[in-house]
Every structure is written in C-alpha cells, then in structure tokens.
Chain A
Amino acid sequence: MKQHEREFFISRIRSGMYMIKHDKITLKIYSPTIEEEYELNEAYLNAYNEALEDGIMTIEATLDMMKERGLWSEEDDKHLVEVPKAIERLKVEAFKARNNELKLVDIKKYLRIREKQLRELTERKFSLQENTCEGIAAVHKSTEFMKMCTFLNKEVYEFDGDMNDVLNKYYAMILSESTIRDLARNEPWRSLWIMNEDGVFNLFQKNDRQLTIDQRNILVWSKMYANVHESAEAPADDVIADDDMLDGWFIIQKEKRDSEKAKNEMESATTNEKIKNAGEVFVMAKTPKDIERVNSMNDINANIKRQQRLAIAKKQGVVETGEFADERMQVSQMSNEQFKGKFGS
C-alpha cells in the first residue's frame, strides 16, 4: 500500500465516519450510539422472530434442506473443518520457512489456493443465507442502521427510495483484515498509537458514538502488534511484516501455551510424584477432545517420539523394550556420557 493511501485510510478511520457519494450529494455514515445499537439489535430480533413465525427457515434448517437436496454434504462439513486446519499448518510452515525464500513462495501459493477453497466452501454453505431468518433479520438491521446513521448536513437523511446503492458502497468501504494489519504496523498510525500511550490526545474524533468496525479492528491489531514486540520470543521484523508468517508464529505460541497449560493442569491434578516424573505418562481419555488435550501436552520432540513409536508398533506388531529408535538413541547417549565420564575427569 502506498503511503498516501495509508494516510487517507487513517484519517477516515480517525474521523469515525464514511463519506459516500449518492445522487450528486455526499452522505456521511456514522456508527450508532449505544442506545441506537440497542434499537438495532431489537430490530434484528423482531425481524428474526417475524420471519420464524412466517415459516421462513433458519440457517440450520436450510443446511439440512441443502443436504437433503445434495447441495451440501457431510463431506463438505468435513472439508470445512479440515481446510482451516490445513491453512493453519501452512502458516506454521511459512513461519518455519522464514529463512528460505523459495520455499516460502511455494508455501504461499498453496496457502492462497487453500484460502480460495475455504472462501468457496463458505460461500456455498451460506449461499441461501439471505433467504433465511438470520439473513432477513440482518438485512432489516442494516436498513435500519442506514436510516438512523446516515446524515446530510448534520441532519438525518431521509431516504426516498432504494438504499441498496449506499448500503453496498458502505460495506465495500470497510477495510479488509490485511489492510488493517498493514495500517496498524506502519506510519502514520504507529506514531499516533505510541504517542497515545501518554493520553495527550484522542486517537479518534469524539462523537459519543460506538467505535466503527475499522476503529475496533485497528485497535485490536495495534494491541496485538504491541504484544508481539513485547514478547520475550518476539519474531524478526520481516516476520511481523508478513501476515502469513506472523499468523504461523501466533499458532506456534498458542500451541506452546495450550501444551503448557494442559501439562500444568495434569501436574496439579497429580499428587503422585512417580507418575509426574515417569518417562511415559498414560492419561485416561474418554472423548476425542480429551485425547486431543492429552496429545497437546507433548512438546515437539515428545510428539515425534510418540508418533514414531505408534507407527513402528503398528508396522511390526510386537516391539520389545529398547527397540524404538528414541530408546536406542537414549542408550547411545548414555554410552557416550559414560565414556566421557570415564576419561573426562
């Protein structure tokens, strides 16, 4: 993004409004006040209930109908779970390939393909959404929002016809996540964010209204980047500047945290020192979620060992004590240590 574009977007975000040209006039759209937001949510609820009473299907029922007619399948549901996981794995791979540019380029190609796949799947799943109770209610809420928050010369604008043009233009102006992230980590916003820590000025124009979607997003990402910079294991600047690699770093950090948390929970629940200090700990797991939690307690090395052992056991049928590769390596290390001890002192 060019610098003048960043400056434009930041000034728009700070102003808390969107200017839209419509029928040779310029309308200003603000975010709702807290009271107006309450009214909008009530409008959503009423529209939803009315649609339900009129026999309109909910998203859930529409999905069932789509499955019956072969428009959506269990297999698609499975894909919708698998594809985001594949995207996460690719992002982790992208972070790991941070010093290998060629590999990174390849990973990013796969990543874009997977993202496209996810977009298409999501669009297909919710293709009939606008005809559901939720879709009708959402359209009604948007219409009410336009009526409440669109101004012309400081007066609420009275739409005398179709407001779809304004509505579409408004939604098109909401910035994408990648644009927001770019704005959050670059000038002019970065300086504003740092100076704001002293509270000497307001980041956004005060208008007693709720934060706009862009304002909310840029605050979230600014805090996120500040936390990344403050982290003890902060990644390099080129990683921070690359959304894919940074997402990979986030995923790795989260997995580490989850693993530590699960391990700590297990240790605090175990009073038996022998089990706590055992080389192999078998934790009773009842559900697939329990199994996932137990498996997440393993760090990378332990996880590799676990997977290798299970694979060898499945391949061989019977594996005796000391036959696993990690056990052989352990014995070899022990031999080296003893050898060093013999001649080292």
Chain B
Amino acid sequence: MSTNTRIFYACQAVAIANMGTPSGNWGTQNMIHGVQQVGITTNFKLEQAFELGQIEIYQNIEGVPDVEVTLEKDIDGYPLMYLMASTGVVGTSNSGIVSRAKSRCDLRLGIFDESVNHTAAATTNGGAAEVEVYCSGMYISNLSYKMTTDGPFTESMTLAGNNKQWLTGANVFISSTMAHVFDGNDSPLGFGTAASPSGGIQVRQWFMVNESVLPQSIYGVVGSGVGNGYNAATNTNNVHLQSVNISTDFSRQELLELGFKNPYARPANFPIEVKCEIEAISTSGDFVSALQTGNPNLYNTIGSGDNTAQETIYVYLKAGMGFDLGNKNRLSSVSYGGGDAKGGNVTVTYSYSTFNAFDVYQVGHTSITNPYTGV
C-alpha cells in the first residue's frame, strides 16, 4: 500500500556503492552527479489471520516491506547510475545485462543543513549529511534512457529492495569529504580528456548519428554499418530522428526461504525484454510492409517469409557512452502519426524489442572496448 500523502524532501546529495561497502570505502567516487529527482515508495504488506470462536483478528502478520527507489539524472559525462549500481562488472564477456542483473548496491540520500548554498558549506553534523536515507541491498529493477530533441538526455533507474533506514549523527556515511564534491563549482565534465570525451550535459547535438548503428527498417537508413544514418559526403543525416528511448524491466521475483523473513534473492525474471522506441520525422512514409508472404528482400535470409528482420541497434553519445542492444532486435510495431490539419509534422515511431541483450559502455568507467566504435 502506498502512502496517501506524498512527502517532498529537499535532498542535496545522492551516493551509490556496491552492497556492503564499509564506511571507510565510501568516497567522492560514489557521489552521483546531475541527479534531478528521487522517488521512494515503501509498501507494507499485511496478512490477517482469524480463528473460529472470535470475530476479532487472531493476528496481523506483517510481510516484508517493499522499497522501490526511482532516480533520474541528466546524462552529463559523469558515470551513469546503471554502471555505478553495478560497479565492478567489467570485461567483454560479462559486462552485459545478465551479469549486471546480479549486482546489488547500497544507496544513500543525504539531507543537509537547510541554510547552505551547497553541501560543502554545511557545518551541522561536522559537515556530513544531517539526515541520511539508507537503502541497502538494492537490485536494479528498471532502466530507461530518454534522448529527445527537447531538453537534456536523461537516465532513469529504479532500484528494488527490502531495507530502508533513516540515519543521523555518526551513523551517516555521506561524509564531509564526500559533501565537498558539491562546492558550488561542480559542473558536468567537459571535452578533451581521454577518460571523458563529454559535451557536458548531453543534448540533441551530442547524439552521434555518424557513430551509431540504426535499424535498416527506418526509412532512409543506408546499409548496416556504423554511421548508416549519416551521409558523410554532405555532412547531413539520412534520417531525422526526434527521439530514442531505450528501456528494460528486470521483473524481479522474490525468492523466500525458511528461517528468514526477507527474500534471500530477487533474481531477474529471464528473458529480460529490452525495448527501443525510435521516432523520426517522416519524409515520405514508413515503408514497412506487412505481407502474408513476407518481405521479398528477406527471401534469401534466415528471415525468409518474415516481414521483419533481425537488426542491430547501437547508440553512441559524445560523452563516450554507447548503448548496445545487440543485433537481434525485431520491429514490433510501427506507427505513423501527426500531419494534422494544423500543419503538424508526420512522425513515424518504430518500436523494437530484443531479449537479454543490452550493454552500456562508458569511456573511463567501463574498461571494455565496444564492438562498433573500437573505443
């Protein structure tokens, strides 16, 4: 049951680390930059037992509280929350969704002295967080990346767990040193360093069409290689993308055991579906056929008789981030809309889905080379 009244807190710092990281190992590297909002929903479960002989309740059996934390941040060149929540997962063979799904993390939200302009200036509680909300043993349960022509690109991540505590005084982990990350001069990472080829907060111009691989079913895309949505000769895009939204839901399942109240694990419910929705302004139509005999262009392929083929999706941002959805994405729907009497543009929205294939690369944070750009 969720609360009836929402409570708003002014929160000034969020930190994340691997589950069980001891106090001394939390540092500035754990602070999340560019966070916009955090929402926490705590659901209590109650089961009522009755007995013959009395109308009153025999016992109220309280179940495990369900804690769900959703964080949203602007993509800004600093480490993505998804990577921070699954820190330590590196290497070409185990960097994908399967290994990251196993990771657990601890999250801390710091509320500081209300009279300061930045957390570094706080003096209450020795400059550390005055009050801290601590969620431990959290699993990544939901992830989405939104890239639109309007506003900053954002990352949303939902963590699910069963433990939440409020801490004060010496119990808080967000120390004065960590709080000094936000000293009034903190800003997104800039261009130029090998570890972070960032354009600050990522907005539409930092979507590197020339270094991305778009599905060929999008009308205008030429070929299947890197930069297939880009015409290098004219320095223009072949397709006019409006938005790219990538999302996945890990659908966590609680595994209980005798002897403990809390679940001993909340594994992801495989297969994990990864969705990608790409919206583009149409220049002539979607050109996606739906035929009983299938798409003639696929007759000599393994997709013979199908209308849609397996396609590669890889999105690259100037901040050195690559979103790899693998090469088995299938078009699940295409919608053609807009173009109303008021002169609105016709847009085509292509929805793709794949399973268990999703990896996020970030130069300087994942020490792996991605298969498309070689970075």
User: Is the CB–CB distance between B48 and A279 below 8 Å?
Assistant: no
The smallest C-beta distance from B324 to any residue of chain A, in angstroms, reads: 24
The answer on a CB contact under 8 Å between A330 and B3 is yes
A314 contacts partner chain B, Cβ-Cβ < 8 Å: yes
* Closest chain A residue, CB of each to CB of B55: A343
Residues of A within 8 Å of B165, CB to CB, are: 318-321
Chain A residue nearest in CB terms to B71: A275
A322 within 8 A of B: yes
Whether A280 contacts B46 in the complex (CB less than 8 A), given A287-B117, A288-B117, comes out as no
Interchain CB contact under 8 A, B8 and A297: yes
Contact A278–B39 (Cβ < 8 Å): yes
Contacts of B302 in A (CB 8 A): none
Q: Which 5 A-B pairs rank lowest in CB-CB distance, beginning with the nearest?
A: A278-B39, A275-B39, A282-B11, A279-B3, A285-B10
Q: Tell me which residues across on chain B come within 8 A of A330, comparing CB atoms.
A: 1, 3-4, 44
A327 touches B42 (CB 8 A): yes
A-B contacts, 13 of them at CB < 8 A, read A272-B156, A274-B158, A275-B37, A275-B72, A281-B7, A284-B36, A310-B111, A310-B131, A318-B165, A318-B167, A321-B164, A330-B1, A342-B50
Residues of B within 8 A of A (CB): 1-12, 14, 35-42, 44, 46, 48, 50, 55, 57, 60, 62, 65, 67-68, 70, 72, 109, 111, 114-118, 130-131, 133, 142, 146, 156, 158, 163-171
- Which partner residue on chain B sits nearest A271 by CB separation? B146
B52 to chain A, nearest CB (A): 14
- With A295-B10, A342-B48 known as contacts, the answer to whether A302 contacts B37 (CB < 8 A) is no
Query: Are A285 and B42 interface neighbours, CB within 8 A?
Result: no
Q: Is B57 within 8 A of A339, CB to CB?
A: yes
Question: Please, how many angstroms separate the alpha-carbon atoms of A294 and B50 in the complex?
Answer: 44
Q: A290-B10, A339-B48, A339-B57 are in contact. List 5 more A-B contacts (CB 8 A).
A: A272-B39, A276-B39, A280-B9, A282-B11, A295-B8
Q: Check if A279 sits within 8 Å of B2, measured CB to CB.
A: yes
Chain B residues positioned under 8 Å from A320 (CB to CB): 164-165
A288–B118 CA distance with the chains assembled, in angstroms: 9
| B116 A272 Cβ-Cβ under 8 A | no
Assess the B48–A302 pair: CB atoms within 8 A.
no
Whether A283 contacts B48 in the complex (CB less than 8 A), given A275-B72, A334-B1, comes out as no
A313 surroundings in chain B (CB, below 8 A): 131, 166-168
B258 to chain A, nearest CB (A): 22
Which residues of A have CB within 8 Å of B171?
317-318
Which B residue sits closest to A320, measured CB to CB?
A: B165
Given A282-B40, A305-B5; A335-B48 close (CB under 8 Å): yes
Do A281 and B8 have beta carbons less than 8 Å apart? yes
Complex: how many Å from CA A40 to CA B74?
Answer: 53
A314 with B72: CB separation less than 8 A: no
